[in-house]
Chain A
């Protein structure tokens, strides 16, 4: 009987503890602080929630790819990574980084309606995803059929591609393989930045120039997560390369002047106009150094 009472007490206590297991406001505040002040977060123990939040915050490379097309740049196949190189990526480190590179190239070729190139990149992506045992989360058949269809629905194709990469990242995090997720995102980001610098060299476009400067924020966040895995194979060299880039970005200022937003509700749709303005202060020399450093980092990744 005594034992039964003890059991009863143990179960009640366990139940009581479980009900309070949701993250507290403190944890949320910690996440917000870590996101806002990268330098501090790198010296404290970073938990999974913070890492996931940072990974989730990294913008889709598609934003940059669409911008590049919008400024009127032509498509140059030679700008992208050779899809045939896929077989030379043998370690998980190289596979994950180049999965990101090919992911950006896939989106880029899709935007320009280059069906055959897109199919080639799709095959490379599928190959690397299978190599990382996450191929099952990549809907190759649907993407292939969308890319091949004569009346190519670009919106559906881009949406499905983005959703598939999101699924891959989600499952890598679920499997506690965040180190591969950050490599994938880093590869995608490096390729998008590389393409932006290439097109900027050709066009000297002001919007692209500012876009290059804005990447300061993304690079800080990427490095914050990479640092967590600095003892893993390959990470130290990648971090050192990206830190050289960060040293240049540290000289770039993004000035922000806050103003109250303006709000309009029309037919149940709320539209908010941000009246805060930001300006990126970046010199020609900064742009040149970022362009050459990005090229060398990207070449190291793909070769």
Chain B
């Protein structure tokens, strides 16, 4: 009987711990860090929260409307340090991959996209060997 009560208590605490761990992604912190790594001349436009909910969510995706003759820059920062474990990939409206921040086996802090076609784009964030599944990215533009 005592063992069972102990087991239930243990299960409850583990459950609460899992919930807390998943909720511990404070993306706001990484928005500011990403913002600081933007190249000069780029104007901040939007931030994207990347919360993988402790590994339960494999992809976080956002839709963007990009304009032709505009340069867009993405900067990614995560809890693992730099862009470690986080990959930002851009697709066009037909899901053709245009660029990924995981390049030559390295996690780059972002990319610059020189857009020449106005339309819908998809900005997808995925995780690779991530410990925290937590971060943020910012989007900036320059004509």
A pairs with B: yes
- A residues with CB within 8 A of B: 1, 4-5, 7-8, 11-12, 14-15, 18-23, 25, 28, 31-32, 35-36, 53-54, 56-60, 62-63, 66-67, 70, 155, 158-159, 162-163, 166, 207, 210-211, 214, 217-218, 221, 254, 256, 258, 261, 263, 265, 268-278, 280
Asked if A158 and B43 sit within 8 Å, CB to CB, the answer is yes
Asked if B70 and A274 sit within 8 Å, CB to CB, the answer is no
Whole-angstrom CA separation of A272 from B61 in the bound complex: 20
Q: Residues of A contacting B48 with CB < 8 Å?
A: 56
B63 interfacial contact with A, CB 8 Å: yes
Question: Which residue of chain B has its CB nearest to the CB of A214?
Answer: B118
Q: Residues of A contacting B109 with CB < 8 Å?
A: 268
Q: Contact partner of A166 among B46, B67, B90, B118, CB < 8 A?
A: B46
Asked if A277 and B65 sit within 8 Å, CB to CB, the answer is no
Asked if B43 and A62 sit within 8 Å, CB to CB, the answer is yes
Asked if A256 and B35 sit within 8 Å, CB to CB, the answer is no
Whole-angstrom CA separation of A124 from B106 in the bound complex: 47
Asked if A274 and B114 sit within 8 Å, CB to CB, the answer is yes
Asked if B113 and A272 sit within 8 Å, CB to CB, the answer is yes
Task: Count residues on chain B whose CB falls below 8 Å from chain A CBs.
Answer: 60
Smallest CB–CB gap between A22 and chain B, Å? 4
Asked if B12 and A11 sit within 8 Å, CB to CB, the answer is yes
Q: Residues of B contacting A63 with CB < 8 Å?
A: 45, 67, 70, 141
Whole-angstrom CA separation of A14 from B44 in the bound complex: 42
Smallest CB–CB gap between A2 and chain B, Å? 11
Question: Which residue of chain A has its CB nearest to the CB of B92?
Answer: A276
Asked if B111 and A56 sit within 8 Å, CB to CB, the answer is no
Whole-angstrom CA separation of A29 from B116 in the bound complex: 26
Whole-angstrom CA separation of A276 from B44 in the bound complex: 25
* Contact of A254 with B118 at beta-carbon distance under 8 Å, contacts A35-B63, A59-B65, A158-B43 already known: yes
Within 8 A of A (CB), among B38-72: 40, 43-48, 53, 56-59, 61-65, 67-70
Q: Identify 8 new A-B residue pairs, CB closer than 8 A, beyond the known A23-B57, A53-B63.
A: A15-B15, A28-B59, A207-B69, A221-B65, A269-B112, A270-B101, A270-B111, A272-B111
Q: List 15 A-B contacts (CB under 8 A).
A: A5-B4, A8-B4, A11-B12, A18-B18, A32-B122, A35-B120, A56-B46, A57-B65, A63-B70, A258-B94, A258-B96, A268-B106, A268-B109, A275-B116, A276-B117
